[in-house]
Amino acid sequence: MDLLIPKKLKKGDTIGILSVSGVIEDKEKLEKAKIELEEKGYKVKISQTSYTQKDYLCAEDSKRAEELNNFFKDKSINAILATRGGYGAIRILDLIDYEAIKENPKIFAGYSDITALSIMLYRKAGLVTYNAPMAYSDFASDISEFTKNSFFNTLENGISEISIENNPKTYYSGIASGILWGGNLSTLQSLCGLDFIPDEKFILLIEDINEPVYKIDKMLTQLLNIPKFKNKLGAIVFGDFSNIDNENYFENLISEFANRLKIPTIKGLKFGHEKDKLTFPIGINTTLDTNLNKIILNKYEKACD
């Protein structure tokens, strides 16, 4: 499978704001995200599913998948930015036109529930996607300068490394290479039963919110019980686990997994559901060095020119 690396974003490009998960409760608030992006020099197109509702979802499965497929096929759209997460992405995975995506590679960005789409777009189409802030959840909600700067710097200029700088702590030191892969832990777990694990060695990035430590244990254990997952896992990088119930239990859990697996394991990457979050590519070949607290993205900047 050929790796598809989207072209960098440039002023004047059109960003498609796409709703494929939870309902947008404050429709007018989305206008703030549109203005934020337009003030940076971009055109904006908002999906119809941003204005509809089907119970706790923004639209019927078929409509949400249709909008995603159409946004990829639309030549006037240069990048796709999800509005929000919540739930719903796993319901449309079998309705996605992966061949159309191969023919129309472009930036696709989001986090949380959007992890399901990022993982499967890489697996089925070879598309490098982006763990990034979202239109409704971030740009429409007093986005921090840190988050905004990381977003535009990564998508406009490319990056050569990612610093693990949020009170970094190493649980098992070392250097590991593999593709940068992962996202929201509970969403990754929801993919069990599907063909979602990469064939390449991978550096696992994980984050979550409002999950007790025993559930984090259960989710990681379920993933590690899959032989291919365990065999391809080269290292673990923990992001933000917001609103955790017991920090001591969490520390003990990470230490236990690190020493059992004997692979580089580090905590402190700024990604997840906190206000400050990094934007970075998923699917790019990288090297993690816990001694430097850095993830080096091999040749990524030139590859997306």
148 and 188 both lie in a single domain: no
Distance between start and end Cα atoms, the chain: 20
Q: Is the pLDDT of residue 1 over 90?
A: no
CATH of the domain at 182: 3.50.30.60
pLDDT digits (tens, 9 = 90+) for 194-213: 999 999 999 999 999 999 99
Alpha-carbon distance of 100 to 235, in angstroms, equals 33
- Percentage of residues of the chain with pLDDT beyond 90: 95
Alpha-carbon distance of 133 to 141, in angstroms, equals 11
> Which of the four pLDDT bands, split at 50, 70 and 90, describes residue 305?
low
205 and 135 both lie in a single domain: no
User: Which phi and psi (to 5°) does residue 96 adopt?
Assistant: -80, 140
Rounded to whole angstroms, what are the CA distances from 223 to 68, 260, 285?
28, 15, 22
pTM, two decimal places: 0.96
pLDDT score recorded for residue 31: 93
User: Which phi and psi (to 5°) does residue 233 adopt?
Assistant: -75, 120
pLDDT digits (tens, 9 = 90+) for 263-293: 999 999 999 999 999 999 999 999 999 999 9
Catalytic residue positions, numbered: 112, 207, 273
pLDDT, average across residues 16-43: 95
Give the sign of the dihedral formed by CA 37, CA 60, CA 123, CA 106: negative
Last residue of one domain, picked from the residues 119, 137, 157:
157
124 and 179 both lie in a single domain: no
Last residue of one domain, picked from the residues 95, 122, 157:
157
Domain span holding position 277: 161-303
Half-sphere exposure of residue 41, counting CA atoms within 13 Å on the CB side? 7
pLDDT, average across residues 44-60: 97
Which helix (H) or strand (E) is 81 found in, with range?
A: strand 79-82
Last residue of one domain, picked from the residues 123, 157, 191:
157
Give the sign of the dihedral formed by CA 185, CA 122, CA 133, CA 174: positive
